[in-house]
Structures are given as C-alpha cells and as structure tokens.
C-alpha cells in the first residue's frame, strides 16, 4: 500500500469519526432540549394549578357549591350554569383590566390586541393577543405572571362579592333555570 493511499484511508476514517461525533453530539443536544422542554412544561403546569388554587380556594369553592339548584338540573349542568352566571369576574388595577374565568385569566394592558394576554391555568401557558406563546424564561411571561399573582387577592374579593350579589338575587337564578327548562333550552 502506498503512503498516499494510507493517508487517504486515515483521513476518511478521521472524517467518519468526526461525523459520528457530530451526530452523537446533535442527538445528545436534542435529548437535552427535550428534557428541558418537558421540565419547563411540568413547571408551567404546576404554576398554573397553584395560581388557580390560590384564587379558587377551598372556602370559595365551598361557597360556590352551596348554591342550590337541586331538582332543576343535574350537577354538571349546575356547575356550568353557576359559573356562567358569575363569571367572568372583572378587576381593574393600575389601569390594567383582569377578567377571570373558570379556566383562564385575560389581562388587558390597553385596548390594543398586542397588549392583551391570556393565561390558561391547566397548562400554565401565557399567550399574547397576537397568539404568541411565551416561554417560562421570557420577560413577558415573568412580567405577566407577576401581575396576575399581585392581583389574586382582588380576584378572590371580586368572586366573593359576585357570590354575595348572586345570593341576594337568589330567586332569579332558579326562576331563570326553570324558564330555560320550560323552553327546552336545558334538560
């Protein structure tokens, strides 16, 4: 074997070895990225559930469950109807409007869609009005979550006020449900 042929084989082996190392490096990097994304997703879910639990405390849930529509509609319809009567709950703080629903909070910093954010409790996702989802480490995500956390006491107070208003008008909901049943809108 000639020296040039031997060098060519060695260079080819070095090239193959380098390609294999790069492939393995890319694979490991992909695995790291997947693990990091999964950890972030799990953390966002925990955070979303924790925020929801801070708002919908046991006390508030007990008050929500005290409303009695027995005999008019089944339990699942009762909960959906009750939430539709009470929510969204509006809170305004420092010129920012917060709308609390059962499964999300909408935050309006201004009338502009790009200044509107939606936080979904179930997956801890913060999305802009322009449908941009933010990562946990994005400044917008951190800023948005801080704003939501700071307004939790006001949201709880507003829920309690809505429940008091609801109870003070106690006859209306049952009459409204019976009216909807009579029209066949609900079973």
| pLDDT at 177 exceeding the cut of 80 | no
Q: Where are the domains of the chain?
A: 3-183
CA–CA distance, 13 with 6 (Å, rounded to integer): 11
Query: What's the whole-number mean pLDDT along residues 24-53?
Result: 87
Q: How confident is the model at residue 35 (pLDDT cuts 50, 70, 90)?
A: confident
**What pLDDT, in 10s, does the model give residues 46-93?**
999 999 999 989 888 887 777 554 444 455 565 566 667 778 899 999
Rg for the chain, CA atoms, rounded: 27
**What pLDDT, in 10s, does the model give residues 106-144?**
999 887 777 899 999 999 999 998 888 998 889 999 999
Specify the 3-state DSSP secondary structure of 97.
strand
CA–CA distance, 84 with 146 (Å, rounded to integer): 27
| pLDDT at 4 exceeding the cut of 60 | no
Is 107:116 a contact under the CB 8 Å cutoff? yes
- In the chain, alpha helices (H): 3-55, 58-66, 75-86, 139-168, 171-183
106: exposed, middle or buried (Cβ count in 10 Å: 0-12, 13-18, 19+): middle
Is 128:121 a contact under the CB 8 Å cutoff? no
Supply the pLDDT for residue 80: 64
């Amino acid at each position: 074997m000639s020296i040039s042929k031997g060098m060519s084989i060695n260079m080819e082996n070095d090239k193959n070895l380098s390609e294999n190392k790069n492939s393995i490096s890319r694979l490991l990097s992909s695995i790291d990225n997947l693990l990091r994304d999964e950890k972030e997703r799990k953390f966002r879910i925990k955070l979303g559930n924790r925020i929801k639990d801070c708002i919908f405390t046991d006390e508030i849930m007990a008050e929500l469950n005290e409303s009695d529509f027995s005999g008019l509609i089944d339990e699942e319809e009762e909960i959906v109807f009750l939430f539709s009567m009470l929510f969204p709950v509006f809170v305004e703080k420092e010129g920012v409007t917060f709308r609390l629903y059962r499964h999300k909070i909408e935050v309006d910093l201004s009338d502009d869609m790009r200044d509107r954010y939606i936080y979904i409790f179930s997956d801890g996702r913060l999305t802009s009005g322009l449908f941009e989802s933010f990562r946990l480490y994005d400044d917008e995500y951190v800023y948005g979550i801080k704003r939501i956390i700071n307004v939790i006491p006001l949201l709880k107070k507003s829920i309690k006020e809505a429940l008091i208003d609801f109870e003070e008008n106690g006859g209306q909901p049952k009459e409204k449900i019976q009216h909807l049943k009579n029209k066949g809108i609900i079973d």
